[in-house]
Amino acid sequence: MSIIAIDTETTGLNFLLGAEPFMVTACDLEGNLFYWEFDIDPITKKIKRNRTTLKDIRETLRQYDDWVFHNANFDLRAIATLFEISVQEVSKLHKHPDAFWYHIHDTLLMSHVLDNQRSHGLKDLSVRYLQFPKDDEDQLKDATKAARRLVRSLHRKGEIPDWQIHDETEADYWLPRLMFKAFPDLAQPSWENVCLSYALKDVERTISLYTLFKDLLLSRDTLGVYLREINVLKVVLDIQSRGMNFLRPVAASVLSDLDSQIDAYSQKLMSIVNSFGLEEFNFESPMQLQSLLYQEMKFPVVSLTDKGKPSTDASTLQHLINCCPDHPNIDFLVYLKELKLNLTSSKYIRNYLHFAIPSTKGKRNYYTLYPNLNQTGTKTTRFSCSNPNGQNISTGKEEEDDTGHKIKRFNLRELFGPPPGYVWYAIDYSSLQLIIFAYEANDQGMIDAFAKGYDFHNYVAKGLFNTQEPTKTERRIAKNVNYALIFGAGAERVDATAGMDGAYQLYQNQFPIVAEYMAKISYQVRKTGQVKTAFGYPLNVPREQPYKGVNYIVQGDEGNIVKQAMYLTNRYLSLHPSKSRLIMQIHDELVFECPKDKDFPLSTICQLMMGPAREVGWTTPVGASLVTTHWGDKKELELDL
């Protein structure tokens, strides 16, 4: 079985915004090294492809049974970009196209299974596991910065046109070599091959780590855990290539409204500031606000930042509005809060516009966002999401309008929705983390409450307050306690969030099985520094923070369950005649896109989503809703499972 590690160097991090690979390096198990490079036009930053080199890459890589990457999510997309094919079509370049996913390995995913806590960077790992120095990275970064300075100085002298210098140093790794070729007298000699030797070291690192990690996974009995993550990697690439439809015209209109609001509030605020004798003021500066609010205006300090300075955040402003209704500068607080809300939304929208990719279907223009799902982005097996972050799109704040109707402001999910001719099915797990908590603690009362479909917070409220009919306040307290506990809060914090002294102690008395479980996990973390999910995923937890153990287990189980659900549903939809596709994951929610005129296999998908937890004997119910206009407007569906 022949194995080769492959790495690409690129002109940026986002292939959809123009980044391309300009170098491919490879290293096999025998230590044979390969490299291919492409010239770059410094003006357009486009690579100059040539058939011979592409053919040589293809033929070389096809010799090998197994391909190893460090972050295959990135490099597979780089290869797709290089060959101008879809990421799914990269399998056709492989020796075993139909068994492609049995032959792809990723030391990044391996690293997370071996140690969720520490960095997964290739250089860090090589220092840690192989004692392989990382000075080549510093050399390349220094050379790149120096080359950029040379470019700037030549441009100032008018000797070269305006080459756009990228924001990230990593995106200009090609520059030293180009400058060496173009200006041999001005360039440093090391620039000729500094990138190449760096890139070759990276594939040496990758193949060595692969060999070591495979043995470590085997000896720790976690090879199966890692292979499940490889299954998920395929889903991630599918989701990323599909993207989410972005209602760009709506976004542009909302943004323009926000900008006028920002102008209006800025003017109102500035006139107040001027009355304090200040000509200049930046409302986005916490330091300036601290000084103005607490020294000039003499508002009382009601909360402090981590570093012990007076807070200026929204909750503090609201607190001050509530507690100082007669203060002469109360208007300032009200306007400031509105300004901050508008500013926040406008920044989010500008970011979405930055990443919006136009495409044309028929006559209509579409805009799509293609967020990255980072499979090793968290320490608990959850995904993180970036460029843009599709997992923190605002769901809006509920407020009452003039007529007393409840409305949602700043709901940015309204900027997303199915393209014409399609609908979305958003299916989420109900109270997933709490259900996991109940099963992990093995509290039969809680488990039964869920099984019977009771309101969980009501159930806990009944126990806490020893009543059959908890009031709304009692339910709210129970809910706060429930969530605080899975977040690892201590007595003081639980009492504070519950708004009730002694809530923590009361819970411990009324739910002794849960209390015992939490103590057991704490002990385990102090002793071993590790917990394990119900699906065998090992998670290191800092020994000095043993209270985090329960949360790691709960979030870890959640990650395992939802990832497996993604694998099962994505596979089902690709194997069965269906135009429906999984397009997004938001921790406990999967979003599917389906043509309007096709039936969505709702019941089957829900069953598949409940399957992974069923494997360990847990029942994790789901709820579904339908999106026909935009994501801020969901209609709950009846499920008949």
Partner DNA sequence: CCATATCGCTT
Partner DNA sequence: GTACGAGCGATATGGT
Q: Is 340 a binder of DNA (CB under 7 A)?
A: yes
Among 150, 230, 489, 605, binds DNA (CB under 7 A): 489
Q: Which is nearer to DNA, 207 or 385 (CB)?
A: 385
CA distances from 490 to 437, 456, 461 (A): 17, 21, 19
In angstroms, give the least distance from the CB of 281 to DNA: 10
Q: Is 100 a binder of DNA (CB under 7 A)?
A: no
Q: Which is nearer to DNA, 24 or 610 (CB)?
A: 610
d(CA 176, CA 171): 12
Exposure b/e, 416-448, CB count within 10 A at least 16 = b: bbbbeebbbbbbbbebbbbbbbbbbbebeebbe
Q: Which is nearer to DNA, 46 or 587 (CB)?
A: 587
Q: Contact at 8 Å (CB) between 623 and 602?
A: no
Q: Is 374 a binder of DNA (CB under 7 A)?
A: yes
Q: Which is nearer to DNA, 266 or 384 (CB)?
A: 384
Q: Is 282 a binder of DNA (CB under 7 A)?
A: yes
Q: Is 497 a binder of DNA (CB under 7 A)?
A: yes
Judged by CB under 7 A, the chain residues 247 through 266 that form the site for DNA are none
Among 392, 442, 603, 628, binds DNA (CB under 7 A): 392
In angstroms, give the least distance from the CB of 284 to DNA: 4
Q: Contact at 8 Å (CB) between 360 and 273?
A: no
Among 112, 382, 457, 479, binds DNA (CB under 7 A): 382
DSSP state, residue 311: P
Q: Which is nearer to DNA, 207 or 432 (CB)?
A: 432
Angle at 478 between CA 476 and CA 480, to 5 degrees: 70
Encoded one letter per residue, x for contact with DNA by CB under 7 A and - for no contact, window 128-147 reads: -------------x---x--
Among 327, 476, 493, 532, binds DNA (CB under 7 A): 493
Q: Which residues contact 283 (CB under 8 A, 6 or more apart)?
A: 266, 269, 289, 336, 339, 340
d(CA 504, CA 492): 8
Q: Is 482 a binder of DNA (CB under 7 A)?
A: no
DSSP state, residue 191: G
What are the E-state strand segments in 370-456?
372-374, 384-386, 397-400, 406-409, 422-429
User: CA nearest 481: which of 465, 500, 494, 467?
Assistant: 494
DSSP state, residue 371: P
Among 88, 188, 190, 394, binds DNA (CB under 7 A): 394
Interface segment toward DNA; rule CB under 7 A; list 55-63, 485-493, 576-584, 624-632? 485-493
Among 548, 563, 581, 630, binds DNA (CB under 7 A): 548
* Bond preceding residue 388 cis, omega within 30 of 0: yes
Q: Which is nearer to DNA, 355 or 422 (CB)?
A: 355
Q: Which is nearer to DNA, 374 or 578 (CB)?
A: 374
Q: Give the N- to C-terminal CA distance of the chain in Å, as an integer.
A: 46
User: CA nearest 343: which of 283, 280, 272?
Assistant: 283
Q: Contact at 8 Å (CB) between 47 and 22?
A: yes
Among 555, 569, 570, 620, binds DNA (CB under 7 A): 555
CA distances from 455 to 31, 470, 624 (A): 61, 11, 18
In angstroms, give the least distance from the CB of 394 to DNA: 4
d(CA 315, CA 426): 31
Q: Is 488 a binder of DNA (CB under 7 A)?
A: yes
Q: Is 377 a binder of DNA (CB under 7 A)?
A: yes
Judged by CB under 7 A, the chain residues 430 through 459 that form the site for DNA are none
Residues linked to residue 8 through DSSP beta bridges, in sequence order: 24
Q: Which is nearer to DNA, 209 or 550 (CB)?
A: 550
Q: Which ranges in 220-242 belong to alpha helices (H)?
A: 223-242
d(CA 355, CA 368): 8
Interface segment toward DNA; rule CB under 7 A; list 356-364, 486-494, 572-580, 595-603? 486-494
Counted residue by residue, the chain has a size of 641
Judged by CB under 7 A, the chain residues 13 through 72 that form the site for DNA are none
Q: Is 527 a binder of DNA (CB under 7 A)?
A: no
Q: Which residues contact 118 (CB under 8 A, 6 or more apart)?
A: 124, 128
In angstroms, give the least distance from the CB of 559 to DNA: 10
CA 226 from centroid of its chain's CA atoms: 20
Q: Which is nearer to DNA, 70 or 94 (CB)?
A: 70
Phi and psi angles of residue 280, each rounded to the nearest 5 degrees, phi first: -110, 140
Encoded one letter per residue, x for contact with DNA by CB under 7 A and - for no contact, window 78-97 reads: --------------------
Exposure b/e, 9-45, CB count within 10 A at least 16 = b: bbbbbbbbeebbbbbbbbbbbeeeebbbbbebebeeb
Among 199, 494, 565, 606, binds DNA (CB under 7 A): 494
Interface segment toward DNA; rule CB under 7 A; list 197-205, 220-228, 299-307, 593-601? 299-307
Among 14, 193, 386, 607, binds DNA (CB under 7 A): 386
Judged by CB under 7 A, the chain residues 344 through 373 that form the site for DNA are 344-345, 347, 351, 354
Q: Which is nearer to DNA, 231 or 387 (CB)?
A: 387
Q: Is 313 a binder of DNA (CB under 7 A)?
A: yes
Helix/strand/coil for 14? coil
Q: Contact at 8 Å (CB) between 209 and 201?
A: no
Total residues at interface with DNA (CB under 7 A): 70
Interface segment toward DNA; rule CB under 7 A; list 15-23, 28-36, 189-197, 310-318? 310-318
Q: Is 532 a binder of DNA (CB under 7 A)?
A: no
Q: Is 524 a binder of DNA (CB under 7 A)?
A: no
In angstroms, give the least distance from the CB of 474 to DNA: 19
Q: Is 410 a binder of DNA (CB under 7 A)?
A: yes
Site residues (CB under 7 A) for DNA?
Answer: 141, 145, 148, 169, 282, 284-288, 305-307, 309, 311-316, 340-341, 344-345, 347, 351, 354, 374, 377-380, 382, 384-389, 391-396, 410, 483-484, 487-494, 497, 522, 526, 545-548, 551-552, 555, 586-589
